[in-house]
């Protein structure tokens, strides 16, 4: 088949592809090649992938170890029914349990991606507890399937609710210290106490003994890398224990070395009853997700039928990619490298707060970071309030793209989440581009 030009690729996409989260018929940049931390378009322009695409390409693009594992497995067996055991699936399940902690965790239910990981965790929680309600945060995103959308808090859930809200999903407000008017490192104890009190009050009003689970991102990702105040996550775990509620941590974006720990919940003094994953398990090379469950939940399904099933659960080719990716994280001590790169990224982002009128706060843990962009630093007026209809943020992102710095953000945030293999030299090459665009934002939008 004759290769297409970039213009032809873009036109076919425009005419025939349903583009997620967009009005249809718009133009998309055609990408010809990707390698390491870089992408190239058909005109030869080079872009640094400073968001790991959708915070999934943790080990960069075209990593030989993953590509070779996929190729080797494709020559043996691409797919086998979930009812049969396959070497990649069996190996990967044990690897994930071992990394999570085999003293507490037991088994993995594999899915196709992040949304259905959360869907199936919700189903398991209801089966195990016999309760119906699911608590989740307003500042959250858990996927676009029906149940995951109901659990999500940001405005992307609105289309799902057009036919009426699901009565068994209850949202609560999780803390965002900067936007709530507090100062990190100063007000943590006050904020933790306040928000845990509000959460417990809401649980009581909703009847905590009919709440199956509290579903939370270990660290809120797409909505701005919102770091919880000290003690907050442990406090939520304590509330779950108090009322017999299961705690589910969504690790879809924050997992697999992103924070300098294999899983983000490992930054806190807790163990969730279940945690969900996707993205970084294969770095997006082949779709794969799953739910890691505690021994207690695993034991329940020894005596009760697990009413969950997917044709591609534990997909053979995907699991082979997962084995290669997880092996790479461990063999190359990627978490240690991430903490080292945090030592470059975090001080730079904090310096942007000091330098620029438009930067209200910088948040960074590992290579999981975001800047809050404001109109007025003194009043903390956001550049783009929640679900703003005429946001200038796409224009800011376009300016970054012009400089070859690709990333994304939600609402008033710019996310900086590069591939975990990025070097200090590559960071130092790309970060000045962000500085230049922030200077432009100061001059254009902050007077």
Least confident of 127-136, 159-168, 173-182, 357-366: 159-168
The owner of tokens 């697999």 is 256
pLDDT at residue number 1: 85
Say yes or no to pLDDT of 211 above 70: yes
Say yes or no to pLDDT of 130 above 70: yes
Q: Tokens for 315?
A: 């997909």
User: 3-state class of 171 per DSSP?
Assistant: strand
Say yes or no to pLDDT of 374 above 80: yes
Residue 162 pLDDT level (bands cut at 50, 70, 90):
low
Average pLDDT over residues 290-308: 97
Say yes or no to pLDDT of 84 above 80: yes
Residue 425: CB atoms within 10 Å: 9
259: left (phi over 0), alpha (psi -120 to 50) or beta: alpha
Residue 386 pLDDT level (bands cut at 50, 70, 90):
confident
Report pLDDT digits (tens) over 213-258: 999 999 999 999 999 999 999 999 999 999 999 999 999 999 999 9
Q: Quick check: 371 and 359 in contact, CB under 8 A?
A: yes
Say yes or no to pLDDT of 163 above 70: no
Q: Tokens for 447?
A: 């007077």
Q: Tell me the CA distances in angstroms from 427 to 261, 367, 403, 406, 438, one per residue in order.
A: 20, 11, 14, 13, 17
Residue 384 pLDDT level (bands cut at 50, 70, 90):
very high
pLDDT at residue number 166: 72
Average pLDDT over residues 195-211: 98
pLDDT at residue number 28: 94
**Torsion, CA 272, CA 276, CA 282, CA 286, rounded to 10:** 170
Say yes or no to pLDDT of 370 above 70: yes
Q: Tell me the CA distances in angstroms from 363 to 133, 241, 345, one per residue in order.
A: 32, 30, 10
pLDDT at residue number 165: 66
pLDDT at residue number 292: 98
Which residues share a beta bridge with 371? Answer: 362, 414
User: 3-state class of 31 per DSSP?
Assistant: strand
Mean pLDDT across the chain? 96
User: For strand 46-49 and strand 405-406, is the pairing parallel, antiparallel, or unpaired?
Assistant: parallel
Least confident of 18-27, 126-135, 168-177, 190-199: 18-27
Distance of CA 103 to the CA centre of its chain: 26
Q: Which domains does the chain have, with CATH numbers?
A: 6-62+333-446 (3.90.1150.10), 65-332 (3.40.640.10)
Residue 48 pLDDT level (bands cut at 50, 70, 90):
very high
**Percent of the chain surpassing pLDDT 90:** 92
pTM of model > 0.85: yes
């Amino acid at each position: 088949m004759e290769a297409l030009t970039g213009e032809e690729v873009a036109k076919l996409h425009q005419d025939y592809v349903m583009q997620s989260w967009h009005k249809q018929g718009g133009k998309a940049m055609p990408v010809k090649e990707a390698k390491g931390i870089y992408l190239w378009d058909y005109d030869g322009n080079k872009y640094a992938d400073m968001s790991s695409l959708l915070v999934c390409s943790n080990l960069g693009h075209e990593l030989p170890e993953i590509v070779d594992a996929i190729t080797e497995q494709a020559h043996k067996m691409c797919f086998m029914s979930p009812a049969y055991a396959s070497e990649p699936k069996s190996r990967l399940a044990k690897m994930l349990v071992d990394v999570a902690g085999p003293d507490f965790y037991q088994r993995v239910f594999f899915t196709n991606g992040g949304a259905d990981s959360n869907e199936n965790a919700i189903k398991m929680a209801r089966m195990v507890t016999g309760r119906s309600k699911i608590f989740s945060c307003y500042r959250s995103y858990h996927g676009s399937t029906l149940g995951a959308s109901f659990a999500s808090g940001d405005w992307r859930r609105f289309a799902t609710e057009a036919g009426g809200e699901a009565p068994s999903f209850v949202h609560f407000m999780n803390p965002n210290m900067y936007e709530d008017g507090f100062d990190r490192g100063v007000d943590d104890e006050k904020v933790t106490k306040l928000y845990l009190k509000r959460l417990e009050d809401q649980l009581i009003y909703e009847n905590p003994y009919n709440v199956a689970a509290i579903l939370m991102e270990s660290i809120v990702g797409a909505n701005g890398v919102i770091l919880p105040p000290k003690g907050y996550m442990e406090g939520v775990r304590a509330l779950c224990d108090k009322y017999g509620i299961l705690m589910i941590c969504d690790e879809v974006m924050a997992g697999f070395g992103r924070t300098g720990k294999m899983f983000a919940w490992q930054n806190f003094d807790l163990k969730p009853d279940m945690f969900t994953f996707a993205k970084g398990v294969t770095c997006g090379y082949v779709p794969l997700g799953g739910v890691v469950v505690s021994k207690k939940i695993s034991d329940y399904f020894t005596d009760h039928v697990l009413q969950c099933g997917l044709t591609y659960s534990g997909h053979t080719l995907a699991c082979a990619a997962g084995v290669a990716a997880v092996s790479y994280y461990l063999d190359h001590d990627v978490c240690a490298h991430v903490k080292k790169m945090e030592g470059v990224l975090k001080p730079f982002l904090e310096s942007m707060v000091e330098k620029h009128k438009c930067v209200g706060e910088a948040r960074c843990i590992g290579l999981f970071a975001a800047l809050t962009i404001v109109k007025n630093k003194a009043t903390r007026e956001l550049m783009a309030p929640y679900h703003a209809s005429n946001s200038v943020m796409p224009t800011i992102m376009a300016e970054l793209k012009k400089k070859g710095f690709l990333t994304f953000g939600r609402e008033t945030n710019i996310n900086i989440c590069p591939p975990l293999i990025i070097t200090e030299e590559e960071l130092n090459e790309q970060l000045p581009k962000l500085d230049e665009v922030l200077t432009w934002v100061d001059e254009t939008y902050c007077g």
